[in-house]
Amino acid sequence: MWAAIRLSWPLFIGMIFLMVSNGLLATLLTLRATSLGFSDASIGLMQSAYPAGSLLGCLIVPRLIMRVGHVRIFAALASLASTAALIHLVTDDLWSWGAMRLLSGICFSGLYIVAESWLNGRANNENRGSLLSIYFVIQTGGVTIGQLLLNFSSPQEVLLFIVASVLISLSLIPMLVSTSAAPPYELPERISLWKLFHLSPMGLTGSFLNGISQTVLYVVLALYGNAIGLSTGSIGWLIGFMTLGGMLFQFPLGKLSDHIDRRLLIVGAPGFAIPVCLFLALLDNPAGNTPLLFLMVMLVGGLTLPVYSICMAHMNDHLNPAQMVAASGMLVLVLAVGMIFGPVLGALAIEHFGPRGIFYLLSTLSALTVLTGLFRLWSGRPRMESHNRVVAMAANLTPQATNLFSETSPPGDDPE
């Protein structure tokens, strides 16, 4: 494993810079847009362009890599993303910001594709799980660090935008100076949406709903913090604690689901999230009790973010080895489609119901997940005995990563 880590150090260092920048930009743009007078619905629409761009990037960038190679595409996309971060400083209209978020989504998803295909080329059956765990910690930890940078300057100033742009540019250096050759690249497999639903309706439905919830947490939570009067730094801490909760709960919930029917966790985690969300919705003066607010939001993140990984593992339990990579790749795209709806729905919830609307929405999404899971427990197949393990996955993973995490454990049983 250590040999693979040494070979992958340019990737890991570059990814740290990218994730810190991306985490910072997502919240920074929401706060700056609020100060410019954008409505919550407009901000949600603008932010939804990022996951839409990410979806496009997953479809477009792989073919570009086949034509010009990993390093050139990485350099081109990083340069474009760095430029897009700065353009927000010279314009203040909704459509140009939405266009830059769309471009950023394409660029960042393309950068992740390069990183994940590079990581897959360095992995073998003995170190795949360890490398992907490191990659997951880097992704979620980088987003958390990005939130903490909000404490160093105001969103109305230029400093944080410059920092975000510089970090993206710095991610180029480790990749360009590395002496390791880029691995060969193959286009990911595809599977139809209908066939995926037939193979695992719980996995597809749960991932779609979880995609909505994840962008509500990552994007709209900043609108909530601003609406209740938190400072910029406190909003960063709020989102940081939410992300930290997802990272801390990911491994124990995943481990538990390896030993019981995964559908029980897909029902149980959102089921516990519902009263926590309702408690937050009814909490008086949350800005005056930030320790309790941060703790409860950390619980919401911990009970929400890991559900996607469990849905993926549940789906793989019902597949044969030949189906896993294509089905897992399509499930990543389903998550991305769900993520497009999150910012808009979350912003509308706040506009119509006030700050507590975000938690009403999250509790509704959790309830839909619970109902879907209960229906599948009642009408679905019995629990599949499988040797598959839950693999920690962040929302930023692309279909290319499925070549890596679909092979981190021996294949499960064939479907009955």
Residue 21 burial (10 A CB sphere; 0-12, 13-18, 19+): buried
For residue 414, being part of any structural domain is answered with no
Question: By the 8 A CB rule, do 190 and 330 touch?
Answer: yes
pLDDT tens readout for residues 212-223 = 999 999 999 999
Q: Give the range of the structural domain holding residue 205, as residue numbers without chain letter.
A: 2-405
358-371 average pLDDT score: 96
Which band of pLDDT confidence, cut at 50, 70 and 90, is reported for residue 194? confident
CA neighbor of 303 nearest in space, from 217, 219, 225, 408: 217
Max mean pLDDT among 69-83, 125-139, 190-204 falls in: 69-83
Angstrom distances, CA of residue 148 to CA of 51, 144, 236, 354: 23, 7, 5, 26
Please give the structure tokens belonging to residue 68: 């010009």
Q: At what angle do helices 262-282 and 290-304 cross, to 10 degrees?
A: 160
For residue 188, being part of any structural domain is answered with yes
Please give the structure tokens belonging to residue 368: 């839909």
Task: Write down the pLDDT at residue 189.
Answer: 65
- CATH number of residue 238's parent domain: 1.20.1250.20
pLDDT tens readout for residues 287-333 = 999 999 999 999 999 999 999 888 888 887 777 666 666 777 788 88
Which band of pLDDT confidence, cut at 50, 70 and 90, is reported for residue 412? very low
- Whole-number Å distance between alpha carbons of 127 and 271: 34
Angstrom distances, CA of residue 19 to CA of 75, 108, 109, 314, 332: 16, 9, 11, 28, 18
Reported as type and span, the H/E element at residue 119 is helix 94-122
- Whose tokens are 């879907």? That residue is 372
Sign of CA dihedral 301, 302, 308, 309: positive
pLDDT tens readout for residues 7-66 = 667 778 888 999 999 999 999 999 999 999 999 999 999 999 999 999 998 888 888 888
For residue 327, being part of any structural domain is answered with yes
Domain count, the chain: 1
Angstrom distances, CA of residue 143 to CA of 42, 196, 364: 24, 31, 26
For residue 319, being part of any structural domain is answered with yes
pTM for the whole structure: 0.87
- Whole-number Å distance between alpha carbons of 157 and 139: 26
Which band of pLDDT confidence, cut at 50, 70 and 90, is reported for residue 416? very low
For residue 276, being part of any structural domain is answered with yes
Task: Write down the pLDDT at residue 131.
Answer: 73
For residue 411, being part of any structural domain is answered with no
Task: Write down the pLDDT at residue 414.
Answer: 38
DSSP line for 290-307: HHHHHHHHHHHHHHHTTH
For residue 412, being part of any structural domain is answered with no
For residue 24, being part of any structural domain is answered with yes
